[in-house]
Chain A
Amino acid sequence: MLPPIDEIEVDRIHGTNDASRKAEKREVNVDMNPMVDLAFLLLTFFMLATTFSNPQVMELLVPAKPDADDAQQETPVKESRTMSLVLFQEKIVWYRGITDPEHFDISYDDTRLIGFLSAANKGTDGLVVLIKPLPESNYENLVTVLDALNNSGVQRYALDEPNEYDLNLSMQNP
């Protein structure tokens, strides 16, 4: 709140008559405290209301839906080059290929995931990773995996729907 007007003093210190008033330099004292109060109030407000760091974004490119008359439909990929990551809530189950694969668990640990994926990427020429999030998995799981893929040099990866085999996996490992 601003102070009442009588608190703002304008003092004339030197000079008592008109002649000397004109001749001498007058000193004016203005109470600056209210202004400073206001300045700091505004400063606090803007400091609290501002968002400094704009959040980061991760860019995601998804394939356009093919038209019905599109000549080029889905491109087949060699089974040996694919790796499926089935996303559970607490862990990932991965396997290579589709015919009778052996499956393994891996946790959502960034460092391990990146190490694992880049090793797999080096070992296979043109690795294609299929991400199959189960309905029980959440958004963070997906973002963790996408981020690990971005950081491990895997060139091709795709979001896919879990097939029957993957859904069976989730029945076996509750």
Chain B
Amino acid sequence: MNPMVDMAFLLVSFFMMTTTFKPELPEEIQIPSSTSEIKMPENDICTITISENGVVYFGIDNKFQRQRMLDIVGNQYNFSFTEREKEIFALQTVFGTSVGSLSDYLNAREASVPFVQTGIPMGEQNELRAWLLAARMANPRMRFAVNADRRVKYPMIHDLFELLRDLNITRFNLVTDTKVVHASAN
């Protein structure tokens, strides 16, 4: 039995070291496919997720930068968060609520109570803009990725691209699955 146990522990340590946890999205996103072979960067990455129904979620990869980002946005909208709320916020890989209901969301998360996220407002009061700016302030090397469901209607995508352009983010990534096309470019 010993060789098997050795093997099992080897695999356990391997998975423990290589694992990156899936971001816990409340909705399933079906991303489109492309033949691009560029891998998604692992750090300095800020992801804007749009679900099929047009709900916008936002997330950055670094836990410490999340807290800094929250401080910046909180200051801007005159919302103060308790230390506990900041700690919980730092653990959220992705979230999608307005700044106003963020506190309720974080408390619901702490109590493990279900909370329906309605998305980050992108209309008249463009909070996504504030988050994007804060993400870049928290990490000037931040790269941006758009992780949109393939069924999202174009006007929404157009608004997002225009917002990114407006913030001088002219290079960004579109997250896609791999697909193989059986034809040469000739």
Contact = CB atoms under 8 A, between A and B. Distances in A.
Interface of A: 32, 35-36, 39-40, 42-43, 46-47, 49-51, 53-65, 87, 110-111, 114-115, 118, 133-144, 146-147, 150-153, 159, 161
A54 B157 CA distance: 23
Interface residues of B, number: 58
A141 B154 CA distance: 9
B181 A57 contact: no
Given A36-B5, A50-B19, A159-B161, A56 B172 contact: no
B151 A139 contact: yes
B186 A118 contact: yes
Contacts of A135: 153-155
B61 to A, nearest CB: 12
A56 B165 contact: no
Contacts, number: 166
A37 to B, nearest CB: 10
A137 B154 contact: yes
Contacts of B40: 54-57
5 contacts: A43-B11, A56-B177, A110-B183, A118-B186, A144-B34
Interface of B: 1, 4-5, 8-9, 11-12, 15-16, 18-22, 31-42, 50, 145, 148-155, 157-158, 161, 164-166, 168, 170-179, 181-183, 185-186
Nearest to A35: B5
Given A53-B178, A114-B183, A139-B152, 5 more contacts: A36-B8, A43-B11, A115-B183, A138-B151, A147-B34
Contacts of B172: 59-60, 62
B5 A150 contact: no
B158 A57 contact: no
Contacts of B150: 138-140, 143
Contact of A54 (B5, B39, B183): B39
A146 B150 CA distance: 14
Contacts of A58: 34, 36, 38, 173-174, 176
A166 to B, nearest CB: 13
Contacts of B11: 43, 47
A120 B50 CA distance: 34
Which 6 pairs, one residue from A and one from B, show the smallest C-beta to C-beta distance? Answer: A46-B15, A140-B150, A57-B173, A143-B32, A111-B183, A147-B34
- Most interface-central of A58, A115, A153 (chain B CB within 10 A): A58
B170 A50 contact: no
